[in-house]
A and B are shown apart, each in its own frame.
Chain A
């Protein structure tokens, strides 16, 4: 890097740092989500929460949501762009911590053909109350088969149940074939 580029890069690093601080992000990752990554992130967050004496119930909720979000990416994220730039099973994963809540955010590429089905599931989950979610979870456990990737269609229902909130999601267009799917789950710190 020449001097000008070095300076540009250093500014980027500092801006990135400031931006993370501003958004209270405690963990950010982009890349392939493997089982090892899932274990590392959950245990890191767990020990941080224990250090901060977060209540057991909040710790458990954050743990649940993190695991299901990470597994969603590893099982469902589509590849992006040309064949030499494979993005399957990859995505961005973030945890942020504010005064009153934790946010777990995931972002991954999804092919346009899958959007309808995914939004239908998410919207349906969002129409249900606590009891409805419980019934759906039970039905899905009984009837839903484990897909070849090991998903049972239960992750989103579990996130909605554990957070007690509607699933907050968006699709941002990337190109003609795919969108970027963003899901933010919020866990309240005061119960």
Chain B
């Protein structure tokens, strides 16, 4: 499977989707000019990955900011993970939030409420 590696900018997140090395991660800031164009390849990758996933998939979200347009696409990603979980795969979502950022923590809680997938919240301190 092809690997997706997108370096983050001040308005797009870093994305690493690497089945071989078992890294699935979206981090940084997300307010792309065209959210659909940015997230389409990611959703497409997940569709392909879902047909033959690894034994365990730990998907990491470590965002510091995302706009409302991105929030909808993040949910689309989580819903793909939910489908994989429902199909009997071992999926875990790890939602990282800066310790002092209640809004990002709450955003994680809201997603956890919406999708039925094992969900872990992890607070971290910005160094």
Kindly state the separation between the CA atoms of A68 and B69 in the bound complex, as whole angstroms. 9
Chain A hits for B36, CB < 8 A: 146, 150
The docked-state distance in angstroms from the alpha carbon of A144 to that of B72 is 8
Residues of B in contact with A, size category: 20 to 34
**Contact string against A for B residues 13-49, beta-carbon threshold 8 Å, 1 for contact and 0 otherwise:** 0000000000000000001011110000000000000
Main secondary structure of the interface of B (DSSP, over half): helix
Residues of A with Cβ closer than 8 Å to B?
A: 35, 38-39, 43, 56-57, 60, 63-64, 67-68, 71, 134, 137-138, 141-142, 144, 146, 150-152, 154-155, 157-158, 162
Kindly list 5 other residue pairs between chains A and B, CB separation below 8 angstroms, not including A35-B33, A151-B69.
A60-B103, A141-B114, A144-B72, A146-B73, A158-B68
CB distance from B81 to the nearest CB of A (A): 15
Cβ-neighbour of B67 out of A60, A68, A157 (below 8 A): A68
Whether B68 pairs with A152 at a CB distance below 8 angstroms is yes
The CA of A90 and the CA of B38, in the complex, are separated in Å by 24
- A39-B11, A60-B103, A146-B72 known; A138 and B113 CB under 8 Å? yes
What's the minimum C-beta distance from B77 to chain A, rounded to whole angstroms?
Answer: 12
Tell me whether A137 and B65 are in contact (CB under 8 A). Answer: no
Tell me the number of A-to-B contacts counted with CB atoms below 8 Å: 58
* A contact residues around B67 at 8 Å (CB): 64, 67-68, 71
**Cβ–Cβ < 8 Å partners of B110 in chain A:** 134, 137-138
- Give every chain B residue within 8 A of A134 (Cβ-Cβ): 106, 110
Q: In the assembled complex, how far is the CB of residue B83 from the closest CB belonging to chain A, in whole angstroms?
A: 15
CA distance A64 to B9 in the complex (A): 17
Contact between chains at B10 and A60 (CB < 8 Å): no
Which chain B residues border A57 with CB–CB below 8 Å?
100-102
Can you name 17 A-B residue pairings with CB atoms under 8 Å? A35-B33, A39-B11, A57-B100, A60-B65, A63-B65, A64-B65, A68-B67, A68-B68, A71-B67, A134-B106, A141-B71, A146-B35, A150-B35, A152-B68, A152-B71, A154-B69, A162-B103
